[in-house]
Amino acid sequence: MASFCLDDTIVALSTPLGVGGIGIVRLSGPASREIALRLFRPSDRAARPLAPYRLTHGHIVDPATGRRVDEVLASYMASPRSYTRQDVVEINAHGGPVATRAILDLCLAAGARPALEGEFTLRAFLNGRLDLAQAEAVLDVIGARTEGSLRVAVDQLDGRLSERVRAVRQPLLEALAYLEASVDFPEDVPPRDIGPALTEAVEALGELLREADQGLVYREGVRTAIVGRPNVGKSSLLNALLRADRAIVTPIPGTTRDTLEETCNVQGIPLVLVDTAGITETDDLIERLGIARSERAVAQADLVLLVFDGSAAATDADRQVASRCVNKRSVVVVNKGDLPVVDDMAGLLPDAPHITVSALTGEGLAALETLLVETILGGARSHGAPPVASNPRHRDAFRRALESVREAQNALQTGVPADLQAIDLAETVQALGEVTGESASDALLETIFSQFCIGK
C-alpha cells in the first residue's frame, strides 16, 4: 500500500463473506464502468447501460461463454460524485459466496486488481473526499457497540473533530510563520504578540484531551469486574444489568466457579461485565482455581463493582474482598435491598461511592447505572454533545501537541530566541496535522488503513 497507486482499478467484495440476502462487489478506478459493461447485460435492452446514479436491473454474464452468472442490480457513480471521487460501480448480487466469488473473478479477469485493506477509504482520503480523522471514523461507525459510541463516530465522520483541530492549528500555523519570518527577515517583520494564540491553544488542547479520554470510554468500553464473597448476588446483578438470564443463579453458595463475560449498554457506554466466583477461603480445588481467576479479573478491570449482602452483617470474607479493591476504581453495591437492611457497609471501602439496590426486584438499578456513568466519566456527565474524539491515536497527538505548545509558551515567556520557539511550535503543528492528515507519513497511513476490511 506504500505506493498509494490511484491510476488503476480495484475490486473487492464489500459485504461480509458467507450466505446473505445481498452481496456487493465494488469497483473503483478509471476503468470501473468499462469493466462492468463487459460483464453486465441490462434486462431492458432499450435502457442506457449503467446510467449514472441509477440502479439498473440485469445479469452478470461471462463474456467468454455467454453464461449468466447471477441476476443483479448495478449502479454507477461517476467521478467526482462518489465515495472515492473516482468512477465507482457497485454490483448488488445474491449473497451466496459462490455467486459473489464468480463475479469478483470476472472483474479481475476483465482488468481490475484486488483491493487491499481499506483501499477504497484510502482513495477517498487521498482524493480529498475525507480527511484522515473522518476516514478513521468510518471504521469506528462499523465497530460501534452502543448508540453512544455510534454517535461519537458519526459526529467524527461529519467533521466535528476536524473542525475543532483546524480551529486550533490555523492560529498556530500563523504564529509559526511569524516566528520563522522574524528569524529570516528580522528587520522587515513588525513585532507581534503570539502569547494569546498560545494561551488559547493550551486551553483548547486541554479540552480536546479531556474529551478524548471520555471518547475512549464510548469507543472501547470499560472492563468491569463484579466481585464479592459467595452468595451476595453477583450473578443476579449481572443478569439484572443485562436484562437477561445469562448467569446461573441458585441459593447455593459457590454456584459460579469461573469468570463469565458479557457486554451491556449503560447509557451509551459499553460495559464489559465480568461475573466472578465468590472470593473466600476454601479447600475445594475447583473453587480455588475460580477464585484465582476472580483475582486476575480484579487486577485487569478498569472498574470494580464490589457487591455485599445488605441483609446480613459484614463478614471477615467481605472485609477480605474489600481489602483487595483498595487501589481500584470501585463502586460499592449493597444488594438485597428488598430485604430489611442490617448493614449499609459504610465502613467497607469508604472512599468509593455506595448504593443500595435489589437485583431481584430491579429497585435502584437505574440509579446504579447513572452512578456508574458518573464514576467512569469522572463526574462529567455529558447531557449535550458527545466528545468529538475517541481514538487512542488522536489522544496521543493531543498530548504531544499540548506538551510542545506549553514548551513554546514557556520559551516565549522566558525570552528564548524565536528560532527555538519555532521548533516547539512546529512540533505542535505537526502533531495536530497527524490527526486530520495534513502531516501524516506514508507509514502512518499504511498502519491506519491496514486495520480496515478489504472491501472498505
CATH topology of domain 221-376: Rossmann fold (3.40.50)
Count of beta carbons in the 10 Å neighbourhood of residue 335: 26
The three-point CA angle 281-285-289 to 5° equals: 80
Give the start-to-end residue ranges of the domains of the chain. 10-128, 137-215+391-436, 221-376
pLDDT for 249 equals: 43
Contact 206, 222 (CB under 8 A): no
Tell me which H or E stretch contains 284: none
pLDDT tens by residue, the chain, 456 residues? 445 688 899 999 999 888 888 999 999 999 999 999 999 999 987 677 899 999 999 999 999 999 999 999 999 999 999 999 999 999 999 998 999 999 999 999 999 999 999 999 999 999 999 999 999 999 999 988 888 899 999 999 999 999 999 999 999 999 999 999 988 888 777 888 999 999 999 999 999 999 999 899 988 889 998 988 888 888 889 888 988 665 444 454 444 444 678 888 998 899 988 887 655 555 454 455 555 666 787 888 899 999 999 999 988 888 888 888 888 899 999 999 999 988 888 888 888 999 999 999 999 999 999 999 999 987 655 555 678 888 999 999 999 999 999 999 999 999 999 999 999 999 999 999 999 999 888 888 888 888 888 888
Question: The domain 10-128: what is its CATH number?
Answer: 3.30.1360.120
Domains 137-215+391-436 and 221-376 share a fold: no
pLDDT for 244 equals: 62
For residues 173-209, one letter each, b for 16 or more C-beta atoms within 10 angstroms of the residue's C-beta and e for the rest, the string is bebbebbbebeeeeeebeeeebeebbeebbebbeebb
- What cell does 177 get? 510563520
Spell out the CATH class of 137-215+391-436: mainly alpha
